[in-house]
């Protein structure tokens, strides 16, 4: 694609994210997307043939953004445990910084209800978390009684719900605080005695 | 209200729940509600003047159903700890048994985005949980390091997310299993050593 076409396409995806955040999928109006993006119907049709195409593009870009965050965090050479925690706050920053994540969640919820394969997006989010938990168990930071897949599935659900509630209460202002509260509640039951002592030294309030 | 009017009103609220579950609030169509309820526009208007009125009625009835569950559980003379666990599974049964709960969540999410006071519904759900946790701390079942309000807020968020994800994956079929997995993850970090031993005897897999 030419540079201009790439910019237009990105512009459309950003506009679609805003519209999906506000209205969800079913009530979203393509005319609102073209209006926010400041483009003609023809330009829209050149890039996207349907609302489903737009939804897929939003979810794909959200996934690409998440993959980039994950790659960045894995490149920092932190422990698996610290990587897991850092990624959770990294996602908070991404969610607050652009509409892609909240839009993707709304779309996944709505289309999932109708059995669309887009609902598989939750599984894609869970696998890297399970891998980090398994590694943190090997590292002796998380207790071997924790089931990596079950934990990953739960924490993705919890994160989804926290995002929902934070949006309702504070328009995402309190998202980081709610994620911090989540770790305060989850970590005491998950970590090994060795890690518990380490955390108590680092962050007295994070674990008790 | 006369008996017939009460039945018609209930019929409308049930139909509205189904429509809100399928389409959310913004995309919900009043014509779909009258069609499912099998009533005229006039009968609808006698009971509800707007879609907002319908949403309020769905949320009020969800709240009344939840209050009845809570009263029933509190009447069983269980410990606060067991009441909290029982209520969580009781809610699963309610959610699977009628559309009111999922509809209420969808409405709360959508209207919350627009700053509607209906978003306060999350606070209404949290207060009874916080009271049970505080009592369970007094009873020596939950550790005094757990903050009842923070925990209640988290568990309501987690439950909301689990409901969302369970709807997407399994149309709520796996809801109970996901709530069981949540307690398996949460309880080890919450309970006192005394309670941990009790639970290990009762349900070997529930705690480790």
pLDDT digits (tens, 9 = 90+) for A100-130: 888 887 777 666 544 454 555 666 778 889 9
From A109, A157, A165, residue closest to B122, measured CB to CB: A165
* Interface ipTM: 0.82
pLDDT of residue B208: 42
Mutation target among A113, A130, A155, A206 for the B interface, most CBs of B within 10 A: A113
Q: How many CB atoms lie within 10 A of CB A53?
A: 13
Closest chain B CA to residue A166: B157
Q: How far is B3 from chain A (nearest CA, A)?
A: 35
pLDDT of residue A203: 61
Instruction: Write down the residue that tokens 């709505």 correspond to.
Output: A110
Degrees to nearest 5, angle at CA A183 with B169 and B186:
60
Please list the ranges in chain A whose pLDDT falls under 70.
1, 109-123, 203-208
Return the exposure string of B163-194: e unless at least 16 CB atoms fall within 10 Å of the residue's CB, then b.
Answer: bbbbbbbeebeebbebbbbbbbbbbbbbbbee
Instruction: Write down the residue that tokens 């999350």 correspond to.
Output: B122
Which residues have CB under 8 Å from B39's CB, separation 6+? B8, B11, B12
pLDDT of residue B138: 97
Mutation target among A27, A161, A205 for the B interface, most CBs of B within 10 A: A161
pLDDT of residue A169: 79
Return d(Cα B162, Cα B177) in angstroms, integer: 10
Q: What is the torsional sign of CA B102, A91, A59, A8?
A: positive
| Residues of chain B contacting residue A175, judged by C-beta atoms under 8 Å apart | none
B162/A188 Cβ within 8 A: no
Could you write out the three-class secondary structure of B83-127? HHHHHHHHHHHHHHHCCHHHHHHHHHHHHHHCCCHHHHHHHHHHH
pLDDT of residue B152: 95
Q: How far is B9 from chain A (nearest CA, A)?
A: 27
Closest chain B CA to residue A189: B189
Contact between A70 and A87 under an 8 Å Cβ cutoff? The reply is yes
Q: Which of B86, B92, B85 is nearest to B183 (CA)?
A: B85
Domains and CATH numbers, chain A: 58-202 (1.10.357.10)
Closest chain A CA to residue B112: A168
pLDDT of residue A101: 83
Structure tokens at A175: 């998202």
pLDDT of residue B203: 61
**What does each C-alpha distance from B115 to A168, B54, B110 come to in angstroms?**
7, 18, 9
From A112, A151, A165, residue closest to B160, measured CB to CB: A165
Residues forming a β-bridge with A142: A191
Closest chain A CA to residue B178: A154
Q: What is the pLDDT of residues A39-65, one digit of tens each?
A: 999 999 999 999 989 998 998 898 888
pLDDT of residue A113: 44
**What does each C-alpha distance from A66 to A48, A124, B57, B81 come to in angstroms?**
23, 10, 39, 38
Q: How far is A109 from chain B (nearest CA, A)?
A: 6
From B24, B157, B189, residue closest to A161, measured CB to CB: B157
Which residues have CB under 8 Å from B145's CB, separation 6+? A188, A208
Please list the ranges in chain B whose pLDDT falls under 70.
1, 109-123, 203-208
| Residues of chain B contacting residue A108, judged by C-beta atoms under 8 Å apart | 168
pLDDT of residue B100: 86
pLDDT of residue B170: 82
| Residues of chain B contacting residue A18, judged by C-beta atoms under 8 Å apart | none
B145/A157 Cβ within 8 A: no
pLDDT of residue A204: 52
């Amino acid at each position: 694609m030419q540079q201009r076409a790439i910019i237009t396409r990105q512009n459309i995806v950003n506009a679609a994210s805003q519209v999906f955040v506000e209205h969800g999928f079913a009530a979203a109006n393509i005319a609102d997307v073209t209006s926010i993006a400041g483009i003609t119907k023809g330009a829209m049709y050149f890039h996207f043939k349907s609302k489903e195409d737009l939804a897929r593009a939003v979810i794909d870009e959200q996934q690409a953004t998440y993959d980039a965050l994950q790659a960045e965090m894995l490149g920092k050479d932190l422990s698996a445990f610290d990587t897991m925690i850092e990624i959770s706050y990294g996602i908070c920053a991404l969610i607050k910084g652009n509409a892609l994540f909240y839009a993707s969640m709304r779309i996944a919820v709505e289309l999932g209800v109708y059995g669309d394969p887009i609902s598989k997006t939750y599984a894609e989010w869970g696998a890297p978390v399970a891998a980090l938990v398994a590694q943190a168990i090997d590292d002796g930071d998380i207790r071997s009684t924790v089931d990596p897949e079950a934990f990953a599935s739960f924490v993705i659900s919890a994160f989804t719900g926290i995002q929902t509630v934070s949006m309702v209460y504070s328009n995402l202002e309190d998202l980081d605080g709610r994620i911090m509260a989540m770790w305060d509640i989850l970590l005491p039951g998950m970590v090994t005695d060795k890690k518990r002592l380490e955390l108590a030294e680092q962050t007295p309030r994070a674990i008790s």
